[in-house]
Amino acid sequence: MYIHKKNVFLDEIETTADIELPHDPLDRVIGQENVIELVKIAAKQRRNLLLVGPPGIGKSLIAQALSFHLTPPNEHITAVHNPERPERPFIEVKTKEEIENEIEDKRRAEGEYLSPEKVPDAIAERLGFKCVHCGSYNSAYQNICSQCGGDKFSHIQARRKHLGDLLGMFEMNGGSDNIPQDRVTTTRVVNDKEEVIIYERAGGSEIKVLDQRSLEERRKMVENKPRHVIIPLERKNFIQATGASETELLGDVRHDPYGGHYDLGTQPYERIVPGAIHEAHEGVLFIDEIIHIASLQRYILSAMQEKSFPIVGRNPQSAGSSVKVENVPCDFIFIAACNIVDLKYILPPLRSRIQGEGYEILMNTIMTADEKNAGKLAQFAAQEINLDGKIPHATSPAVQILIKEAENRAFLIDEVKNAYTLRLRDLAGVIKMAGDLAVMDESNFINKKHMSQAVNNAISIEEQILKRYKNFEKAFAEDSYSSHSFKQKHSPYPNENIDRSYL
Ligand SMILES: Nc1ncnc2c1ncn2[C@@H]1O[C@H](COP(=O)(O)OP(=O)(O)O)[C@@H](O)[C@H]1O
Ligand SMILES: [Mg+2]
């Protein structure tokens, strides 16, 4: 076993298999330490976040990791039938505690199970658990006592015949001579009040007891209005709404071809579909590339202000369009991500909302090239290999190549020396490619050779273009003309000078 260390030192590991990964998903985010500090505050204080930076540097990773730091949802949301106006169902919010009490009530409504020794003798006898002759207990399904051989019911029968029901408090269910009896209804006095109590045979060795409370629970359950759970207590607390449509984001009411007709159709309360904003209640609503939902931003703003948002049928042609549910809770932590160039497309009031109750964060694109951060990159490699699941671990020399490449990329892309790139999605691609090469090689580890080859192969299409065409202008020109037009525009020779003698 490895001792968990905060820092990984390259000269202390032979392969990435020697690196113990942190349990906290936020500690798996590399090179964004200052960002993570704010993210931890946001999780604790339920603040909003705007994460700004180029693709592949961990914006989505952070948003998801934040949700691990939230307490689990505590509310359960149900749409309840409104008998007076079915197209205006009610919303009912219950806490975890109320749900648990309800489960307890339900359990109670099913009655309590007791062993025959725990009920009054007369009842155990009447239900056939106790022998009237010798007083021993045995299965209620045997009419003859297995202890003394006596008929367990003859005594009672005889007594009934001659004296009527001496015990008085018993009332037979079914035919009066229907013996053995499987149910006894009687009364008992609790706090000076007389209440009904029912004892039922539950199999050969147990008695079910239904007291006043359980009988009331049963009555309540029958009276209960029809309802439909829209947001269950057990749910994810991270909801991705990237590129969501209006109905996906805000919810909808499904169409019913029978228009919710009482006998044929599905009632409106059953056709309510929550939106992502509702599913994110008590959790995180994450929207990557926020500009892709440009026109929906104002709804998000309104949801954030009200912490509730109605669900309506959004298709005017549908029978759902007449349905509206008010006050559906949606108290979420909003996390949006975008690139710097897209900042201007975020609705200003939405931004000021985030600023007012949260943090706008510019992500780091590089980190200093030092021993500690090299160790972080090794940890990153271990994480990616672990996540991929199909590739072997990397040797220390292979990781060294990856680190060199990270330094190279920081210079190429961000033009900073002595730094490592944090555009890690691309680097993850290199690791996976190296892993695939190792697999094809039937090697137990990604070694130096695999990593070098992957670095060489994993160059972006832009780099490939530059290699071939030297500059982008030339590449664009050659790419966008057909051979004919190209010849006309760029050929230094007039058409007639072209040798077509082969025709
Ligand atoms: N800072 C980071 N630390 C660790 N892994 C990262 C980091 N940034 C990116 N990655 C890796 O790259 C993948 C893509 O990152 P992602 O969070 O989707 O980037 P973004 O949302 O900024 O485009 C992640 O799933 C993770 O495997
Ligand atoms: Mg992303």
User: Of residues 171 and 447, which shows the higher confidence score?
Assistant: 447
Closest Cα to atom 12 of ligand 1: 425
Could you give the domains of the chain? 10-28+367-458 (1.10.8.60), 35-92+227-362 (3.40.50.300), 112-210 (no CATH), 466-497 (no CATH)
8 A C-beta contact, residue 237 and residue 283: yes
Kindly tell me if the per-residue pLDDT of 322 is higher than 80: yes
- Report, as an integer, the average pLDDT of 11-33: 94
Q: How far is 238 from 109, CA to CA, in rounded Å?
A: 36
Averaged confidence pLDDT in the chain: 87
Q: From the alpha carbon of 62, which atom of ligand 1 is closest? A: 17
User: Of residues 151 and 420, which shows the higher confidence score?
Assistant: 420
What does the H/E/C string look like for 107-133? HHHCCEEECHHHCCHHHHHHCCCECCC
User: Of residues 90 and 161, which shows the higher confidence score?
Assistant: 90
Q: Please report which ligand is nearest the Cα atom of 339.
A: 1
Residues with CB under 5 A from ligand 2 (ion): 59-60, 288
Kindly tell me if the per-residue pLDDT of 492 is higher than 80: no
Strand-pairing partners, residue 334, are 285
Long-range contacts formed by 88-95: CB under 8 A, 24+ apart? 88/323, 88/324, 88/325, 88/326, 89/268, 89/269, 89/272, 89/323, 89/325, 90/325, 91/325, 91/326, 91/327, 91/328, 91/329, 92/227, 93/329
User: Residue with structure tokens 């590089």?
Assistant: 366
Strand-pairing partners, residue 361, are 51
Is the Cα dihedral 462, 464, 467, 472 positive or negative? negative
Q: Please report which ligand is nearest the Cα atom of 30.
A: 1
Q: Tell me the pLDDT band of 495, cut-offs 50, 70 and 90.
A: low
Phi, psi of 146 (to 5 degrees): -75, -15
Which residues approach ligand 1 with their CB closer than 6 A? 28-32, 55-61, 337, 380, 384, 422, 424-425, 428
Q: How far is 197 from 41, CA to CA, in rounded Å?
A: 56
Distance from the alpha carbon of residue 56 to the mean position of ligand 2, in angstroms: 6
Q: How far is 89 from 108, CA to CA, in rounded Å?
A: 29
Strand-pairing partners, residue 75, are 95
Distance from the alpha carbon of residue 403 to the mean position of ligand 2, in angstroms: 23
Residues 6+ apart with CB under 8 A from 83: 225
Q: Write out pLDDT tens, residues 165-219.
A: 444 444 444 444 445 678 888 888 888 888 889 998 888 788 998 888 888 877 7
| 3 state DSSP class of 3 | coil
Q: Please report which ligand is nearest the Cα atom of 365.
A: 1
Kindly tell me if the per-residue pLDDT of 94 is higher than 90: yes
Query: Which of 32, 57, 340 has the most ligand 1 atoms within 8 A of CB, as the residue to mutate?
Result: 57
Distance from the alpha carbon of residue 287 to the mean position of ligand 2, in angstroms: 9
Q: How far is the CA of 224 from the CAs of 240, 254, 361, in angstroms? A: 35, 24, 49
- Report, as an integer, the average pLDDT of 119-129: 90
Q: From the alpha carbon of 384, which atom of ligand 1 is closest? A: 27
Amino acid 144: pLDDT: 86
Nearest to 166 by CA among 175, 178, 177, 158: 158
For 352-364, b where at least 16 C-beta lie within 10 A, e where not — what string? ebbeeebbbbebb
Nearest to 438 by CA among 387, 395, 375: 395
Q: Write out pLDDT tens, residues 30-69.
A: 999 999 999 999 999 999 999 999 999 999 999 999 999 9
Distance from the alpha carbon of residue 62 to the mean position of ligand 1, in angstroms: 8
What sections of 164-241 are H helices per DSSP?
Answer: 212-223
pTM recorded for the entire structure: 0.76
Distance between the two ends of the chain, CA-based, in angstroms?
77
Long-range contacts formed by 2-7: CB under 8 A, 24+ apart? 7/372, 7/375
Q: How far is the CA of 278 from the CAs of 59, 326, 328, 415, 443, in angstroms? A: 22, 12, 7, 44, 49
Closest Cα to atom 4 of ligand 1: 29
Amino acid 221: pLDDT: 72
Distance from the alpha carbon of residue 422 to the mean position of ligand 1, in angstroms: 9
Query: Which of 362, 425, 431, 432 has the most ligand 1 atoms within 8 A of CB, as the residue to mutate?
Result: 425
Q: From the alpha carbon of 422, which atom of ligand 1 is closest? A: 1
Q: Tell me the pLDDT band of 497, cut-offs 50, 70 and 90.
A: low
What does the H/E/C string look like for 459-502? CCHHHHHHHHHCCHHHHHHHHHCCHHHHHHHHCCCCHHHCCCCC
Amino acid 171: pLDDT: 45
Amino acid 169: pLDDT: 46
Amino acid 260: pLDDT: 57
Kindly tell me if the per-residue pLDDT of 120 is higher than 80: yes
Closest Cα to atom 18 of ligand 1: 60
**Of 110-119, 258-267, 373-382, where does mean pLDDT reach its minimum?**
258-267
Q: How far is 321 from 72, CA to CA, in rounded Å?
A: 34
Q: How far is 425 from 101, CA to CA, in rounded Å?
A: 47
Kindly tell me if the per-residue pLDDT of 488 is higher than 80: no
Q: Tell me the pLDDT band of 465, cut-offs 50, 70 and 90.
A: confident
Q: Please report which ligand is nearest the Cα atom of 22.
A: 1
Amino acid 151: pLDDT: 86
**Of 159-168, 278-287, 418-427, where does mean pLDDT reach its minimum?**
159-168
- Report, as an integer, the average pLDDT of 250-271: 82
Kindly tell me if the per-residue pLDDT of 410 is higher than 90: yes
Q: Tell me the pLDDT band of 498, cut-offs 50, 70 and 90.
A: low
Amino acid 159: pLDDT: 57
Q: Tell me the pLDDT band of 1, cut-offs 50, 70 and 90.
A: very low
Q: Please report which ligand is nearest the Cα atom of 61.
A: 1
Distance from the alpha carbon of residue 280 to the mean position of ligand 2, in angstroms: 18
Q: How far is 303 from 299, CA to CA, in rounded Å?
A: 6
What does the H/E/C string look like for 277-339? HHHCCCCEEEECCHHHHHHHHHHHHHHHHHCECCEECCCCCCHHHHCEECCCECCCEEEEEEC
Q: How far is 44 from 333, CA to CA, in rounded Å?
A: 11
